[in-house]
Structure 1
């Protein structure tokens, strides 16, 4: 067996717990968090008090089962930021932290017992990284899957250690549902039709028979059911970002103050020492909307931007086709995708280069003016005409 030691930190129902932390008046009440998929409204998460409500359920069905529930539109950026803070806290305890979806993270424990004075103290330190009301669960094992199963099956605020020997792992996994396996719903349904409902029933089958029925996914499921998971930890790579924000004096839906605020935030961001001389590839605008769900727009740039004016010009042209959902209460700008070079390649011939410069100038003017700029050029029409007005004509400039 492997000598690795991996901890799984699990926070169940993170969206609900994050909302209760933000709005304490929701504590102990039925809460349903909804998200929209096209024209459908589905349940993203629900509190324990919302009896009969499950994740993925249509909102109409959920409300029929729990009519007194408070409805909250999902705020994905807030949930991700909340979990990212926890990831950063875990990275202060261990150099190897893998983020695996919202609310789940794996932590490498090798060598930490010597620093903390034993594995029990390491686990206690991990539990302390999350707020108490989040009720974090920790499972410790030699692989990611058994550590995850240990975290799922333990109580909130507690930790469970899976035995290191093969017999102990088999005893721990015995009787647990195959629903814990990371495999498709179709394959799980197929196993249920074969009468295989638990992990020990699956591990009792020959590996070749499972692989013959389900292919590579079946072989991996069989290994996991036996408690074998040699997949490596992939350390979380924190993306460097620059954030700036402001609050409007009053909710506004007019583009003039919104664009002015965006220009101000860009000026602040490009003045930050973290950017100094570098270029950015993406910009994200987030705003709270008066009595409506948050509004988030992410923009990617084909050409890296290295100044406030160029970035503002590009964003303004993209925002011209955007319809605001309602009055914005604030604005947060996040710049990311830093690069050291602009990535612009010079042209070989000067005439071609001038032509490209003219095209770029026209694009910028079009972005600033919100339409075709009033620039014209003289074209010969009838140079042989005896009437001067027929010899040349003004036509829109199009380089």
Structure 2
């Protein structure tokens, strides 16, 4: 544990939704939900305006629509999100050579390793954190929440306390006092099952777990988990910030508060996790050859299934389709407590013919429109798409388009042979809405407006305000 709060955790606020609001003037200050829009769709990110209605990530999209019917529901545009993420990570890199990205919108920074921290003290760390937030807002127009502490675990907890759009610093020596009243679920690795075991033993807060002692936690949870929980409950965490890892795999998993029994919901969560896994894979500049799923049942029994591809890939379609095939081989009717998706056999390149494989798989499977992390929604039309009849093009909500007469716009919706487009760019006023036949030859898919057009403006981030400052 460090004697100064020099580990920083940045978490961008409602990142996907905030980027969409920044890029679409008509959506600023309004509820925005990003995710899969088909019958199996799941919410990836909800703006803070949508969260006021109870919408949150991992929620089935149908439920989100019931809670907030007037929100803008958009498919993800990962090309644009990666552009913004690259800008944010570059700013973090100016503060330290040790930056550990966790996803497109989240990273740890070791301030002691940089030359912007004049002294390893609380005041200097706070000043650097505040300056970093200003730099990110000026460069992207978006807000990020910053946590500062003497360890990675506490820095991440601090950034959660700072949300939205704030800075929270945990003073060295105050860790146990701060953690004590928090629920045990605050600690990393404590899911619903572990929390229930602790609850039955009368341990509901972090302070309860610390006071119970290591021996009791070992008895309740076993050697490895009990020892880890005891250390975390006391605020002990000496993990370093690692800029580059020689990872053998990339994976993500979720533990659910209520066991999943509905098959379509299990499939939707697998699709969402596959998308998150690819985000991490791409953020690391890697590709992988083998797709793995992990399923933990209601009785804590765990199984894995894997499929090895013809070559390494970082294509979301390929990973999502492989994960879907794998989950189809598993009986989940009794209830699923945990799901995970991973990629192993990592490499630093991709095999080009896998794009043809993805297209063939998508055509054969016929995925629902706007599944979580669908690809192609933020790219210029491919050669295959150009070859399609105009009437067969899919105009997904949120997709970038170009019209020969009116210029750049984005799809608000489509159906019954018509597509509605709002013509605006990040720097424009809220634009006009026009409707066209889906086969209008003047309407074409397009790339997102360049990132540079998003910088230097005010009032673009969701939520607004100055946030909290410590």
**What's the TM-score bracket when you normalise by the shorter of the two chains?**
0.5 to 0.7
Q: Where in structure 2 are the equivalents of 1:145-164 lying within 5 Å?
A: 145-164=153-172
State the TM-score, normalized to the length of structure 2.
0.50
Structure 1 stretch displaced more, 18-27 or 74-83: 74-83
3-state DSSP class of the match of 1:175?
coil
In structure 1, the gaps of 5 or more residues are 240-280, 286-294, 334-399
Q: Tell whether the 8 Å contact from 1:90 to 1:129 is kept in structure 2 after alignment.
A: no
- 1:203 corresponds, among 205, 210, 217, to 210
C-alpha spacing 1:197/1:330, structure 2 compared with 1 (3 Å): same
In structure 2, the gaps of 5 or more residues are 248-310, 323-342, 370-375, 384-470
Give the match for residue 42 of structure 1.
Answer: 42
- Could you report, residue by residue, the CA deviation over 1:216-256 in whole angstroms, capped at 9, with x for unpaired residues? 223212211211111121214699xxxxxxxxxxxxxxxxx
C-alpha spacing 1:225/1:315, structure 2 compared with 1 (3 Å): closer
C-alpha spacing 1:137/1:108, structure 2 compared with 1 (3 Å): same
Q: Tell whether the 8 Å contact from 1:53 to 1:62 is kept in structure 2 after alignment.
A: yes
Give the match for residue 180 of structure 1.
Answer: 186
Provide the alpha-carbon RMSD of the alignment. 3.8
Is 1:126 equivalent to 2:132 in the alignment?
A: yes
3-state DSSP class of the match of 1:149?
helix
Does 1 or 2 have the higher relative contact order (CA < 8 Å, sep 6+)? 2
Q: Where in structure 2 are the equivalents of 1:247-396 lying within 5 Å?
A: 323=363, 330-331=380-381
Q: Tell whether the 8 Å contact from 2:214 to 2:230 is kept in structure 1 after alignment.
A: yes
Radius of gyration: which is bigger?
1
C-alpha separation between the residues in 2 aligned to 1:148 and 1:77? Answer: 27
Structure 1 stretch displaced more, 75-84 or 311-320: 311-320
Q: Tell whether the 8 Å contact from 1:113 to 1:122 is kept in structure 2 after alignment.
A: no
C-alpha separation between the residues in 2 aligned to 1:332 and 1:116? Answer: 50
Q: Tell whether the 8 Å contact from 2:45 to 2:57 is kept in structure 1 after alignment.
A: yes
Give the match for residue 32 of structure 2.
Answer: 31
C-alpha separation between the residues in 2 aligned to 1:332 and 1:192? Answer: 54
3-state DSSP class of the match of 2:35?
strand
Q: Tell whether the 8 Å contact from 1:207 to 1:219 is kept in structure 2 after alignment.
A: yes
The Cα of 1:71 is off from its aligned counterpart by 0.8
State the TM-score, normalized to the length of structure 1.
0.58
Number of aligned residues:
274
Give the match for residue 374 of structure 1.
Answer: none
- Could you report, residue by residue, the CA deviation over 1:375-396 in whole angstroms, capped at 9, with x for unpaired residues? xxxxxxxxxxxxxxxxxxxxxx
C-alpha separation between the residues in 1 aligned to 2:42 and 2:221? Answer: 31
Q: Tell whether the 8 Å contact from 1:137 to 1:159 is kept in structure 2 after alignment.
A: yes
C-alpha separation between the residues in 1 aligned to 2:45 and 2:102? Answer: 18
